[in-house]
Amino acid sequence: MLEAIGLRSAEDLFDSIPRELRLQRPLNTPAALSEIELLDKFEQMAARNPAARRISFMGGGAYSHYIPTIVDHILSRSEFFTAYTPYQPEISQGTLQTIFEFQTLVCQLTGMEVANASMYDGSTALAEAVLMAERVTKRSKAIASTAAHPQYLEVVRTYVQHAGIHLELVPFDERTGQSWKSLAETVDNETAALVVQSPNFFGCVEDVAALADAAHAKGALLVVVITEAMSLGLLKSPGACGADIVVAEGQSFGVPLSFGGPYVGLFATREKYARQIPGRLVGEAYDKKGRRGFVLTLATREQHIRREKATSNICTNEGLIALAATVYLETMGRRGVQEAAHQCAQKAAYAARAIAGVKGYSLPFSGPCFNEFVVRGPSKATDLLSRLGEDKGIDGGIALSRFMPDRQNDFLVCVTETNSREQIDALVAGLAELGRG
């Protein structure tokens, strides 16, 4: 081939790179591994993650839910996972129709009118929602509470730091673990976005409808963020409560924990704001013969057309993970999503009651919970949880001191449909044993 194009050596291919800029040595990365050696290396590293083998009650933005076998099967089809962004609709209808279904499912769950083709994850979707609220309202203040996921708040802070938006944090109610009252009291005529997470980081459900009224009375948009999307199977949709933008982490819908990603951000809003939405949108279209198809649409919002005036810089999104969520939601369907949500809530209620009955343990917040709740233990939560992991093979939750240094004894417990009663009883017994010192 070199000969065919008139070159003598591979080195000649790089003649346009000045010689002094060319690397004169091999890379320092290791020599090639065979498949056997490679798998062995990764299996050895995987073995150094003992937490992956434990019974887990960890949530806090990433959840262990049942994943039907067919999800990964569909995902692994070449035609989906090795396809590019569907810029050529005639040969991308599989991807495009899937996204159209994904957008519809997100609308149905959130109670909203339009949804996009996905964002990177829940945290960046929230940041984009705040930026969108600023565009819609032409105001520059966002109000959120300290009961929202701490990492989500950090991401919002990073995104808005140069956009002239001020992020104000209000405290939550120490008694209920909820924040809707303080949020409703703080919203004012300068507020672009009133941000509420429900269920919040402590698992407590907020009064979203009350917040919608409070936000709208001041001309602000209500942004609802959800980290545990399974809650949508049980809780009133944010749309029905009056939300203007709803964002969520979709990992609960068929996506493995995978140490934090790739996950999928859901983004939904009202139809009147469709042209302010960030990211890709798929719409219905017809060909000359009147056949229905689907196509990327309203692209004039996007960076490849509008450049610095685009609604967002996002290009690549989470297509394949949106497919996973779509397969999951269609397989579980109308009944399955509700049943899974119901089981989460019932099992969490069972666990909460049992733990509250153990000497030395209490539930510090009175607000109603979905499938996560805060437990106050008799001693430092980090020590307690680490002993529970090592001695009993149970990851009992997340120590809140990692995010809130004044909460040394508090930890967040999450229960899903995958946790059997036997596992919950083992958790309770383990906590009781360790609580005795």
Q: Which of residues 170-199 bind other proteins (CB under 8 A)?
A: none
Q: Does 404 bind other proteins (CB under 8 A)?
A: no
Tell me: cis bond preceding 262? Omega within 30 of 0 counts: yes
Q: Which member of 166, 175, 272, 306 binds other proteins (CB under 8 A)?
A: 306
Kindly state the DSSP code that residue 277 receives in the 8-state scheme. -
Q: Which member of 177, 233, 377, 396 binds other proteins (CB under 8 A)?
A: 233
* Span interacting with other proteins, options 171-179, 181-189, 311-319, 426-434, rule CB under 8 A: 311-319
Q: Does 350 bind other proteins (CB under 8 A)?
A: yes
- Backbone φ/ψ region at 261: left (φ over 0), alpha (ψ -120 to 50), beta: left
Beta carbon nearer to other proteins, 137 or 297:
297
The answer to whether residues 248 and 231 touch, using CB atoms and an 8 Å cutoff, is no
**What's the CA angle centered on 394, arms 390 and 398, to 5 degrees?**
95
Q: Does 242 bind other proteins (CB under 8 A)?
A: no
Q: Does 405 bind other proteins (CB under 8 A)?
A: no
Beta carbon nearer to other proteins, 219 or 364:
364
Give the other-Cβ count within 10 Å of 432's Cβ.
16
Beta carbon nearer to other proteins, 292 or 436:
292
Beta carbon nearer to other proteins, 45 or 406:
45
* Span interacting with other proteins, options 65-73, 140-148, 175-183, 184-192, rule CB under 8 A: 65-73
Phi, psi of 142 (to 5 degrees): -120, 135
Minimum Å gap between C-beta 324 and other proteins is: 9
Dist. CA 412–CA 410, nearest whole Å: 7
Q: How many residues bind other proteins (CB under 8 A)?
A: 198
- Across 63-84, b (16+ Cβ under 10 Å) vs e yields bbbebeeebeebbeeeebeeee
Q: Which member of 55, 105, 243, 358 binds other proteins (CB under 8 A)?
A: 105
Q: Does 250 bind other proteins (CB under 8 A)?
A: no
Q: Does 209 bind other proteins (CB under 8 A)?
A: yes
x-or-dash string of contact with other proteins, 152-171, rule CB under 8 A: x-xx-xxx-xxxx-------
Q: Does 429 bind other proteins (CB under 8 A)?
A: no
Q: Does 122 bind other proteins (CB under 8 A)?
A: yes
Q: Which member of 332, 358, 426, 428 binds other proteins (CB under 8 A)?
A: 332
Sequence-distant (≥ 6) Cβ neighbours of residue 405 within 8 angstroms = none
Look at residues 276, 273, 141, 130 and name the one whose alpha carbon lies nearest to residue 197: 130
Dist. CA 253–CA 2, nearest whole Å: 50
Q: Which of residues 5-34 bind other proteins (CB under 8 A)?
A: 5-7, 10, 13-18, 21-23, 26-33
Dist. CA 124–CA 359, nearest whole Å: 41
